[in-house]
Structure 1
């Protein structure tokens, strides 16, 4: 079990690392390839959109060819695409190859979660998922630092070449240890459903991501894809609920524990990814830090998460994900509020202590909620369950990032310190909503356990 878990971590780590690593080098890439800022921004945007495109297919592909084969194929495609990105001679080819890389990366995390869920069962799922969570949380934290160090002494191509040794090791170990899964039973692909969600989800994520990248501006270039994306997702959901064999089985939401766990993950994703946008800007704009210093300043956030995740997994297996996620979400609120009062001259030691504590709180909130959702479904439902949860996490992350970007863009002209304080109040509000939904998850789990206890004769 642990060997399989550690192998799956390779895929989750490299996929998450790449999303934050390359962003550091966009300026260098644009200069070397003679591309404008608008053109080079698509190196990042195309990757994020491709991640969203491939997610809905993960469940169907896992049932079609076996989830282990899907994971191996996606990891191999990601590694090859990384090598080709380093060889790209112009910005157009680099963007195309980033799409291929993103399509593969979008399959790695949900496929890996499905493999682990089917391999270990619900009793030990918390401890195993916490190991996967270490990779998912640590990679974005160290990505900017690693990227900055690489660019200090090497060319931008190494932002992609660094994936090759990790990919080679992961594929070799995966070939030996990852179970291939059972192919078959997927049925015909629901092309209409895929068209709806395959266009709706990327348009929705793109629109919200554009808000963040464009400094919070909202115009037709945001509103049109946002409306089309939302409409596509709504029609997909209504259609899937009525179909006998949909692309994604949304009838899983009839399971109250799964519904509470996934909705909790949606709002936790908003609070978590909103903070990922806000904290780097806090150090760069308000405190005048460069990219490397900003990355080093945020390491304590990832370190706090890594330290506590094993404990969070053990507590989840012992007491249930609801109560652990509730405690973590409340602690997230308590560790976010102080930032709403801190100014540009805040004590660096205090900042690092708060970031470390917030990382610990995130470890107790995010992974237990998702684990509770996965543990509540049957083994054959896991491919759809992991896909749905990852989609909601991605939507929540895009909403959280857009929320923080809009607040900052509106208030920065009035003063950076005031703008960041208000933005942190909004982030506190998102964390409070996540805590409320985690409370609902805890109540549902407690009710289900009460129903399961036999009444004495």
Structure 2
């Protein structure tokens, strides 16, 4: 069956689902990897004798690599073909996963995570392009719900799998697990994906690349250094942010000149794409930034194992599992402006519980709140992506998905950095313990000692402390998490502002017309309201 006949059939038939299966398998690898590594942070600190700020770079380096390579995905998909490029990304991600397992130092691990990010950065945008072209506009919502499967398995399976592998085997296995999955995905992709139809006539925007990719990397590097320095005034923060921001601004001004820019900002003339991506960007900052803190609270304040912390995070994924398929079908039948605001209300309600944290907050309440947040997440992310891409022509889909993905990565990086800085600074306000210093010679605070002993109770003999001191430290640490979640809660509320402008009536889709030879890529009307 050709790609055109796949796109024009009425149902999600076997041919469409076969293509979707390839993309889902690759996305599972990429998303599981992020969530698995998030629960391994305390383990990396112990294994490599590193600080939290150093270990955080195992996630930051991955994100920086993603941000660098994602802008190339749109051009590369047209030039080399989606099947070929997707298989190269799979192979690079799989090989880098094996290298991560061999790391002997935190520096090596960070370096190998960069390689992983170069492969992982292409998996999602190219995968979304493959699926959108295969489905056609009338089924994008349902296909996006299928792509949502790894987004469900990530929050559910990632922390549980990571915790189990670390507790029963070693941290190396959180990377080695990708090797068999990657091998299967490569064979599956070779057999199932449609034959490529590259467009070699399109020129590559080298000037844009020299501005955008280094600009994004420098800007995100500056943001990601915030947790370590704790202030914007440090030159290591503001200098790369200033240079990177200047390069990005220069790219924005330049990008309207070439016929085929590296990142097609002309697509923002499409109102649906613009509103959907702004809403998604603000939401990602809040949700992804705070999402990294949930397992940290369970491990550091409540003293749970990584496996238990993973199990406690499962209700969030289960909630999304309930609403995501329904949201996907609704996105094909009604405007997202009528559904997304209600999903955001659920997310805000769940977030509010975490602003009231203390060392003894009921797990029933916390898990219930995570479930409610999952219900909201399932009704938010995929419908917003659907709205962003639905009114684009087939020729624009690769570049549109690139825009959506790069804003997601920037939002995730900004959110993680901001939440880490707030939490770190909150914890620094704890009372220092007289006469007790850490390995770096700095005074140990009550909260710092309490959190350390929760994770490593065997150190109690080395650092004897009054139980009341530990109680005060845990109270302070829980309060620090609660204050950080207040910021996330405020950002969730801010998401309602762009969400008000989401489309509330059905809009015509142009992807199918383009594929059938109707209007063509140059004649597709741009929606401006």
Q: CA distance change for structure 1 residues 266 and 40 in 2, over 3 Å: closer, same or farther?
A: closer
Does structure 2 retain, via aligned residues, the 8 Å contact 1:327–1:365? no
Which residue of the partner structure matches residue 247 of structure 1?
262
Structure 2 stretches of 5 or more lacking a match?
1-15, 431-475, 510-524
Looking at structure 2, the residues matched to 358 and 239 of structure 1 have their Cα atoms a distance apart, in angstroms, of 40
Match of 1:97 among 105, 112, 123: 112
Superposed, 1:322-341 pairs within 5 Å as 322-341=337-356
Does structure 1 retain, via aligned residues, the 8 Å contact 2:38–2:292? no
Which residue of the partner structure matches residue 8 of structure 2?
none
Segment drifting more, 252-261 vs 340-349: 340-349
Q: CA distance change for structure 1 residues 368 and 16 in 2, over 3 Å: closer, same or farther?
A: same
Does structure 1 retain, via aligned residues, the 8 Å contact 2:317–2:374? yes
Task: Quote the offset at 1:164 in angstroms.
Answer: 1.2
Does structure 1 retain, via aligned residues, the 8 Å contact 2:263–2:403? yes
Q: CA distance change for structure 1 residues 441 and 216 in 2, over 3 Å: closer, same or farther?
A: farther
Q: CA distance change for structure 1 residues 92 and 201 in 2, over 3 Å: closer, same or farther?
A: same
Q: Which structure shows the higher helix fraction?
A: 1
Q: Does 1:344 align with 2:355?
A: no
Structure showing greater radius of gyration is 2
Looking at structure 2, the residues matched to 89 and 118 of structure 1 have their Cα atoms a distance apart, in angstroms, of 43
Which residue of the partner structure matches residue 156 of structure 1?
171
Q: CA distance change for structure 1 residues 233 and 416 in 2, over 3 Å: closer, same or farther?
A: same
Does structure 2 retain, via aligned residues, the 8 Å contact 1:215–1:409? no
Cα shift readout 1:308-350 (whole Å, capped 9, x = no counterpart): 2111101111112332222212221222223223433222111
Match of 1:136 among 151, 156, 165: 151
Looking at structure 1, the residues matched to 255 and 310 of structure 2 have their Cα atoms a distance apart, in angstroms, of 42
Q: CA distance change for structure 1 residues 72 and 87 in 2, over 3 Å: closer, same or farther?
A: same
Which residue of the partner structure matches residue 295 of structure 1?
310
Looking at structure 2, the residues matched to 288 and 91 of structure 1 have their Cα atoms a distance apart, in angstroms, of 24
Does structure 1 retain, via aligned residues, the 8 Å contact 2:426–2:480? yes
Q: CA distance change for structure 1 residues 251 and 186 in 2, over 3 Å: closer, same or farther?
A: farther
Does structure 2 retain, via aligned residues, the 8 Å contact 1:19–1:140? no
Does structure 2 retain, via aligned residues, the 8 Å contact 1:47–1:102? yes
Looking at structure 1, the residues matched to 315 and 55 of structure 2 have their Cα atoms a distance apart, in angstroms, of 30
Cα shift readout 1:34-81 (whole Å, capped 9, x = no counterpart): 675576654443222211111110001000011122111211221122
Match of 1:437 among 498, 502, 508: 498
Looking at structure 2, the residues matched to 311 and 210 of structure 1 have their Cα atoms a distance apart, in angstroms, of 40
Cα shift readout 1:378-405 (whole Å, capped 9, x = no counterpart): 1110111001111111111222223322
Segment drifting more, 102-111 vs 339-348: 339-348
Segment drifting more, 312-321 vs 393-402: 393-402
What TM-score comes out, normalization by structure 1 length?
0.90
Cα shift readout 1:90-149 (whole Å, capped 9, x = no counterpart): 665544433222101100001000001111111111111112122034324432332221
Q: CA distance change for structure 1 residues 15 and 309 in 2, over 3 Å: closer, same or farther?
A: same
Which residue of the partner structure matches residue 419 of structure 1?
480
Cα shift readout 1:238-292 (whole Å, capped 9, x = no counterpart): 1112332211111000011111111111112112212212322332343333322
Looking at structure 1, the residues matched to 297 and 480 of structure 2 have their Cα atoms a distance apart, in angstroms, of 10
Structure 2 SS opposite 1:241:
coil
Which residue of the partner structure matches residue 55 of structure 1?
70
Does structure 2 retain, via aligned residues, the 8 Å contact 1:22–1:147? yes
Match of 1:2 among 13, 17, 30: 17
Which residue of the partner structure matches residue 399 of structure 1?
414
Structure 1 stretches of 5 or more lacking a match?
453-457
Looking at structure 2, the residues matched to 173 and 447 of structure 1 have their Cα atoms a distance apart, in angstroms, of 36
For this pair of structures, how many residues does the alignment match? 447
> RMSD between aligned alpha carbons?
2.5
Segment drifting more, 331-340 vs 302-311: 331-340
Q: CA distance change for structure 1 residues 303 and 447 in 2, over 3 Å: closer, same or farther?
A: closer
Segment drifting more, 21-30 vs 373-382: 21-30
Looking at structure 1, the residues matched to 77 and 205 of structure 2 have their Cα atoms a distance apart, in angstroms, of 15
Which residue of the partner structure matches residue 88 of structure 2?
73
Which residue of the partner structure matches residue 455 of structure 1?
none
Looking at structure 2, the residues matched to 446 and 188 of structure 1 have their Cα atoms a distance apart, in angstroms, of 36
